[in-house]
Amino acid sequence: MAPKSKKPPPKPQPKATTTTPNWPPLRPLLPAADLTLTPLLTDQIYLIRNFLPSTLCKTYTSFLASLPLTTTPGAPKKDEALRVNDRFQIDDARFAEMLWNTTALKELITTRFEEDEHGYEQDHSYGEDGTISPALAERARQLWGGDPLGLNPNIRIYRYSAGQFFGQHYDDTNNITLPPPNSRSKATPARTTWTLLIYLTSCTGGETVFYPEPTRANRNPEPITVAPEAGMALLHRHGDHCMLHEGAEVTSGEKWVLRSDLVVPR
Ligand SMILES: O=C(O)CCC(=O)C(=O)O
Ligand SMILES: [Fe+2]
């Protein structure tokens, strides 16, 4: 019998050494009081218009264009959506923290998620001291899949030029570990429950399109289409209850997106 050929030992892989970007400050911003988290489809898709003002979006896109973006290969791995865009990915817990705390996101998600466009909350009341009522806290847990802790440090930047797109897919929940905020605290086991997309430009085409499941009552539901708008944030539920969605082909201009996820305790 021929001797088994011995595989050479694996070569040590060089460690990825992408340095964290020197993100421009998140200024100017609109105060949370001027913004609303608006349901597009209750329990599934929410929008925050003017989440980042257009001046800040311009600062960001010119900064992001200086990062080493790589074009994703056209041939996806098994179970992966066909996507063609230029991307940059970095684990940056400090930036994720900054996006959560210095913008209106934390306040909108934790206390102002059931307001209508006039700022009136719908069913629940706040406690007398301004804290949220137990009913509202319970509704928040139900909606977000737990008590929101912050954003996924896994920050992804996408640039789609004309002809580029992200094919139909579902987004998965991921188990992550949030690093300790200081040397005296511990890391927190967490999981992602909602996708956060922040559009930094408007463009032609490039809509994020959601496909509702057909039901007996409606066998052919209309897709829900979101046209990118500079500075608008979109949140959609992911994991087991994720809707099938895609990033449609950009036909002119450039679509820039910053992606992270909402994170809850695991
Ligand atoms: O770019 C888009 O509109 C969609 C992006 C997306 O689906 C994703 O990041 O998972
Ligand atoms: Fe997605």
Domain boundaries, the chain: 149-180+188-265
Query: What is the model's pTM?
Result: 0.89
Q: Which atom of ligand 1 is found nearest the CA of 255?
A: 1
In the numeric block, the tokens 């466009």 are attached to: 117
How many CB atoms are located within 10 Å of the residue 93 CB?
Answer: 18
Q: At the topology level of CATH, where does 149-180+188-265 sit?
A: Jelly Rolls (2.60.120)
Q: How far is CA 236 from the centre of its chain?
A: 8
> Does residue 1 or residue 195 have the better pLDDT?
195
Cβ of 247 less than 6 Å from ligand 1: yes
Distance from C-alpha of 250 to C-alpha of 257, rounded to nearest angstrom: 13
Select from 200, 235, 257 the residue to mutate for testing ligand 1; criterion: most ligand atoms less than 8 Å from CB: 257
* pLDDT tens, residue by residue, 130-165: 677 888 889 999 999 999 999 999 999 999 999 999
Residue 212 CA, ligand 1 centroid: distance in Å: 16
214 in Cβ contact with 194 (< 8 Å): no
* pLDDT tens, residue by residue, 32-55: 999 999 999 999 999 999 999 999
Closest residue by CA, ligand 1 atom 10: 171
